[in-house]
Structure 1
Amino acid sequence: MAASRSGAEILVDALVTNGLTTAFGVPGESYLAVLEAMRARAFDFVVCRQEGGAAMAADAFGKLTGKPGLCFATRGPGATNAASGVHVASQDSTPLILFVGQVERGFRHREAFQEIDLAALFGAMAKWVVEIDDPARIPELVARAIRVACQGRPGPVVIGLPEDMLAESADVADAAPVTPAETWPGLADIAQLQKLLWAAERPVALVGGGRWSEAATLRLARFAERFALPVAVTFRRQMLFSADHRCYAGDLGIAPNPKLLERIGDADLVLLIGGRLGEIPSQSYGLFGVPTPGRRLVHVHADAEELGRVYQPALAIHASPAAFAAALEAVQPPQTLTWEAGTATARADYLSWSGVVPAHPGAVQMGEVVAALNALPVDAIVTNGAGNYSSWFHRFQRVRTYGSQLAPISGSMGYGLPAAIAAKRRFSDREVVALAGDGCFLMTGQELATAVQYDLPVIALVFDNGQYGTIRMHQERAFPGLPFGTALRNPDFAAYARAFGAEGFSVTERGAFAPAFAAARACGRPAVIHVTLDPEAITPTTTIAQIRAAASKSRVSSS
């Protein structure tokens, strides 16, 4: 007979049984019993300063581990704040579980203090929303939540925890640890894939999505090597294929290499592994026809619901990327690889596109920053949120190792710093650098206090051009010369960092970034480097003035 435990104790034991021993959150009176159970079990609860940052940190933890990242929030305001991170996990296919303390069971449906309908709030974002009414069912429902979060297309699960349920006792045994199922491709699928590859003249592989592992990426690299197959990654998935590999052809992000787009457009076989080809990698759904792609498409995905959802493939393979990558070991290349020269050209096109960072207006040059990041150890983890500043790094940074990149496919601002905190908490021996724009950083900048509190020496690079740059860019295209609502008056970010107890550095001149970065890496404390950029330096290839001029010319021509 199982010993009697409170619901909170049963919950924490269920997490520990599954190897889930780190969570991020903001404390709330609705789940104080859980905090006590964590304290008694030496559980690693990282106290954050806002639930949005906590949920983003949990998302990053899930990306790094392949297991559900955990976030705890209180009802009402806590749950709504955490929604931003739940949306990231949904669009990014990240396993995540958000636990929300709820009102007492007897108070529900009266609009009690901070009461909120979790199913109504999260139903369109989460894979599953459930409220646990009986502590005896916690092992069952937590096990199911882990499986739902991880299997198929990974994503977020939201669990409501009524305050009185957590204090109630039950005699129930822990459930066995969950091992998420891998969906393997059938022999007929692999045989058909080999036939299609043998018949192809201009094949290309596209890689993205979740459910990957380091071993899977290495197997994919061996497959590409044997077939001399050009491989491109989808938006913010560079860590899935080394930029140093001879078959790497670049990434399908925002403003990708035109030659890569041309190559994919000319391909007679496209092998899409793990990804969905959403709006950004598909270039606003223009790269392929919908629903008929216009060429042979082999789509491999862990969730059957994603196969044929937008594009109707010539071959749909229901398999997780890890299982499919293992099955690729059995696929044999044709005796003659007719496309090998094309792969070498694709590689040369990538190296030319990403080789030299062009100069741009202003004293501080982004080329200095890119060079410093590319000199980091190969296992260093670089994170970022959203903003035009990231376009330099997606194009010019060499991502070479699985687990070294954390960035939101959803394009959420504020992701970089919480993700860096999660990465450093998970891998204390690896260097972690967060990239953020001025607007991006202040979405979650208060989490610098979390880094200081837990002695996590992350480095945040804040690129300050005094504006919401991406929005200003689109504004100039739509309304040239009429900026409104996009200017920012920013603090001294170095002084801001010092106020938290972190180190702060300012970079305003050419040549000043490298010594500031070296000092930040050597200081052994959280650090912020405030990098002042010219507001005209909006992308690697265009300025605000050029965008405005082109938009104005277009308007004149159309009229």
Structure 2
Amino acid sequence: MTADTQPYGGQAIVELLRRNGVDRVFTVPGESFLPVLDALHDAPDIALVVCRQEGGASMMAEAYAKTTGRPGVCFVTRGPGSANALAGLHVAAQDSTPLLVFIGQVPRGFQQREAWQEVDVSALFGSVAKWATDIQDAARLPEYLSRAFSTARSGRQGPVVLGLPEDLLFEHVEPIALGPATINQGYPAPRAMAQLSKMLNEAQRPLAIFGGSGWTADCRAQLQAFAEAHELPVATAFRRQDRFDNRHPNYAGDAGLGMNQELAKLLGEADLLIAVGTRLGDITTRHYELVNVPKARQRLIHIHPDPQEPGRVRVPDLAICAGVEHFAEAAAGLQAGPLPPERASWLTRARAIREAWQRPTQSPGPLQLGEIVAWLGQRLPPEAVISNGAGNYTLWVHRFYPFRALGSQLAPTSGSMGYGLPAAIAAKLAEPSRPAVCFAGDGCFQMTCQELATAMQYGAKVIFIVVNNGSYGSIRMHQDKHYPGRRYGTDLVNPDMVALAQAYGAGAARVERTEQFADIFEQAMTADRPFLIELVMDPSILRP
């Protein structure tokens, strides 16, 4: 084979993406990886989505991974491009999402001279990514990319960053003789499952907390049946509400921001906690108060795909290193013995707590956000995708919207503002038949609102609901608590949201009263383009 017929580095990368099931790539183009862009030109089976800012591109890739169950892929340029992309990488790290970010790098001969836009990939991303490195040898591209896919998807999933020196992408390489990367997940040992079964059958007041990544519809159904058989109440971890049907009789509520005080009591009174997939982080445990560190008051069974996670913060009574899929398969084979007499009343109490909490509350003024969110729960099908970023408006969404299907919630556990808009676009591109609704505060929306242009370019008919209270509401709430009467730096002077959306070519309307919303939403559902609905909110209303 002559050099003219050998693939060059850019082509080799695209071929390796194809062999690992990648069908969409998100980017802001840069001259540092032009050979990859040229190779993508000849890859019609891999769609290219050109974004307006690298943070939006990496967030879209992260949300695409959550929606499809496959690694998200993002290409950005060095220096400022890679710094912008760090926002989505942090989401992927804290949300345990498989994400590959490729960074066009300065040529190898220029490295370590602080060349133009040079960045030290391992130093900048090493504390966030599971693996971050520069590739220095074109011949090793198959090795590096195979390891990248395997690392991103094995154990606790997460992001990987690969630097691509510009000159390497032009070099010719040998034809690729490599299939898709392997994925490694642990299986629960039979002895551990027997111990779990014994502990669960003995417990009077057990409670499960479902969270983490790596879920499938099948394993969710298996774990739902497991909960039913054992009369086990199930709470969901922070922003993991779609891990269990929120209308199921065994659902106890979400352990997140603004947690129901009655659910907090339930967590405290449980005599056994079964944590599946979740790390039991600070939000889910209300700053580690509900599940003590280093030893919980409750007996604790911790199931997690990372062997280093159980025991990292608190010592469990039983640790099981397993992916959620494999644990669900093993749990499906457990038989429930005669259940303790208190179990039925415990489950009834948990159900009542959740049902009371989901009734919409009333706020001052003509616009009732709780009623609007609850109405959407009735109007939208279970498979509809609801996304959000960060801010107090999310308290209404998480409390009053019933997440029913897996993949119906896209919300960053990292608490990243600006996430909801690019996430909803990615979800709509992944599955155009599913309704996609983004909630954003006025401050949150303006972090990534330029991606409205991306939605327009690719026909992503997302409905964006902007809750406008003219402030950084969650920050103002904490400011008022700690420094009453000294509000500073949290008020916003906003553009005309409707005019802004229309300038991008989207449909738009403003809602100031609850009764206006349903008709406007129906217009949005039938629109032939993205549609923004601005909800004018009284700035004094900061929580349900």
TM-score (norm 2): 0.98
- Give the C-alpha shift of residue 66 in structure 1: 2.2
1:149 aligns with 2:152: yes
Asked whether the 8 Å contact 1:48–1:54 carries over to 2, the reply is yes
1:501 aligns with 2:515: no
Counterpart in the other structure of 1:15: 17
Counterpart in the other structure of 2:480: 476
Asked whether the 8 Å contact 2:10–2:39 carries over to 1, the reply is yes
Counterpart in the other structure of 1:376: 380
1:449 aligns with 2:458: no
Counterpart in the other structure of 1:552: none
Counterpart in the other structure of 1:436: 440
Asked whether the 8 Å contact 2:244–2:251 carries over to 1, the reply is yes
Could you tell me which runs of 5 or more consecutive residues in structure 2 were left unpaired when the two chains were aligned.
none
Counterpart in the other structure of 2:34: 32
User: One-letter code of the match for 1:104?
Assistant: P
Counterpart in the other structure of 1:306: 309
Where 2:132 maps in the other structure, the secondary structure is strand
Asked whether the 8 Å contact 1:229–1:343 carries over to 2, the reply is yes
- Give the C-alpha shift of residue 179 in structure 1: 3.5
Counterpart in the other structure of 2:228: 225
Partners of 1:156 and 1:105 in 2: CA distance: 24
Asked whether the 8 Å contact 1:368–1:514 carries over to 2, the reply is no
User: One-letter code of the match for 2:32?
Assistant: S
Partners of 1:212 and 1:377 in 2: CA distance: 20
1:135 aligns with 2:145: no
- Give the C-alpha shift of residue 524 in structure 1: 2.1
Asked whether the 8 Å contact 1:10–1:174 carries over to 2, the reply is no
Asked whether the 8 Å contact 2:230–2:339 carries over to 1, the reply is no
Alignment of 1:151-550 (within 5 A): 151-338=154-341, 339-355=343-359, 357-374=360-377, 375-540=379-544
Partners of 1:326 and 1:44 in 2: CA distance: 34
Asked whether the 8 Å contact 1:228–1:337 carries over to 2, the reply is no
Partners of 2:529 and 2:344 in 1: CA distance: 48
Per-residue deviation, residues 427-465 of structure 1 (Å, max 9, x unmatched): 011110000000000000000000000011001000000
Partners of 1:249 and 1:337 in 2: CA distance: 19
- Give the C-alpha shift of residue 337 in structure 1: 4.5
Where 2:391 maps in the other structure, the secondary structure is coil
Partners of 1:502 and 1:174 in 2: CA distance: 46
Per-residue deviation, residues 98-139 of structure 1 (Å, max 9, x unmatched): 000000111111111111111111011000012112222111
Asked whether the 8 Å contact 2:203–2:340 carries over to 1, the reply is no
Partners of 2:366 and 2:497 in 1: CA distance: 18
Partners of 1:221 and 1:69 in 2: CA distance: 28
Q: Evaluate the alpha carbon distance shift between residue 35 and residue 294 of structure 1 in structure 2; reply closer, same or farther with a 3 A threshold.
A: same
Asked whether the 8 Å contact 1:457–1:527 carries over to 2, the reply is yes
- Give the C-alpha shift of residue 513 in structure 1: 1.2
Per-residue deviation, residues 363-416 of structure 1 (Å, max 9, x unmatched): 211034213320201111110000000000111110000011100000000000
Partners of 1:354 and 1:508 in 2: CA distance: 23
Partners of 1:509 and 1:394 in 2: CA distance: 21
User: One-letter code of the match for 1:437?
Assistant: G
2:87 to 65, 84, 89: 84
Partners of 1:226 and 1:174 in 2: CA distance: 48
User: One-letter code of the match for 1:490?
Assistant: N
Per-residue deviation, residues 182-221 of structure 1 (Å, max 9, x unmatched): 2110000011001101211111101111111111111110
Partners of 1:182 and 1:125 in 2: CA distance: 21
User: One-letter code of the match for 1:74?
Assistant: T
Partners of 1:524 and 1:333 in 2: CA distance: 52
Asked whether the 8 Å contact 2:202–2:340 carries over to 1, the reply is no
Partners of 1:171 and 1:273 in 2: CA distance: 44
- Give the C-alpha shift of residue 532 in structure 1: 0.6
Asked whether the 8 Å contact 1:131–1:161 carries over to 2, the reply is yes
Which moved further from structure 2: 279-288 or 464-473?
279-288
Counterpart in the other structure of 2:111: 108
Where 2:515 maps in the other structure, the secondary structure is coil
Partners of 1:369 and 1:62 in 2: CA distance: 29
Counterpart in the other structure of 1:49: 52
Could you tell me which runs of 5 or more consecutive residues in structure 1 were left unpaired when the two chains were aligned.
541-559
Where 2:176 maps in the other structure, the secondary structure is coil
Partners of 2:185 and 2:283 in 1: CA distance: 28
- Give the C-alpha shift of residue 174 in structure 1: 3.8
Where 1:170 maps in the other structure, the secondary structure is coil
Which moved further from structure 2: 58-67 or 397-406?
58-67
Partners of 1:478 and 1:295 in 2: CA distance: 33
User: One-letter code of the match for 2:273?
Assistant: V
Partners of 2:178 and 2:18 in 1: CA distance: 11
Counterpart in the other structure of 1:543: none
Counterpart in the other structure of 2:75: 72
Asked whether the 8 Å contact 2:511–2:534 carries over to 1, the reply is yes
Partners of 1:39 and 1:290 in 2: CA distance: 53
Partners of 1:195 and 1:538 in 2: CA distance: 45
User: One-letter code of the match for 2:543?
Assistant: T
Partners of 2:514 and 2:221 in 1: CA distance: 39
- Give the C-alpha shift of residue 255 in structure 1: 1.7
Partners of 1:333 and 1:445 in 2: CA distance: 51
TM-score (norm 1): 0.95
Asked whether the 8 Å contact 1:458–1:527 carries over to 2, the reply is yes
User: One-letter code of the match for 2:215?
Assistant: W
Partners of 2:118 and 2:232 in 1: CA distance: 54
User: One-letter code of the match for 1:345?
Assistant: R
Partners of 1:243 and 1:109 in 2: CA distance: 53
Partners of 2:106 and 2:414 in 1: CA distance: 31
Asked whether the 8 Å contact 1:297–1:313 carries over to 2, the reply is yes
- Give the C-alpha shift of residue 331 in structure 1: 1.0
Asked whether the 8 Å contact 1:140–1:175 carries over to 2, the reply is no
Where 2:162 maps in the other structure, the secondary structure is strand
